[in-house]
Amino acid sequence: MDGRQADLEVVFGPAGIWSELLGQVVGYAGTEIWCESPAERQYRVLDTWWSHHEFEIFRRRFGTEVERFQSLLVSEGIASRFEVVGTYYDERSDGDDLVAT
């Protein structure tokens, strides 16, 4: 990712390709990106959804596209890898927005 940090910030920025992809589903509230460790060139990307249900709809409909997108960024040298750190839910939720299994 040497020298590609600016490209990464554009791709995941408010008007970037990532926001365009996620914005195809109702419930996407936005993405934040920040450099967590400049020395290691490590970034965090936080995607926000109005509910878990809407996030799961996105994952079902666009899982293949997300995988292709991530592979493209790695092959272009914009990112070296992707890792899901966690999924967090508002503790005030009554559970109505969770997806039935």
What number of CA atoms fall less than 13 Å from residue 53's CA on the CB side?
9
Would you call 48 helix, strand, or coil by DSSP? Answer: strand
- Ramachandran category for residue 41: left, alpha or beta (phi over 0 → left; psi -120 to 50 → alpha): left
pTM exceeding 0.85: no
- Bridge partner residues of 45 (DSSP): 33
Helix or strand (DSSP H, E) at 53: helix 52-75
What per-residue confidence (pLDDT) applies to 91? Answer: 57
Residue 67 has pLDDT above 80, yes or no: yes
What is the rounded CA–CA span in Å between residue 65 and residue 23? 13
- Greater pLDDT, 86 or 82: 82
Phi, psi at residue 6, to the nearest 5°?
-65, -40
**Average pLDDT estimate for 77-84:** 85
Structure token pair of residue 7: 């490209």
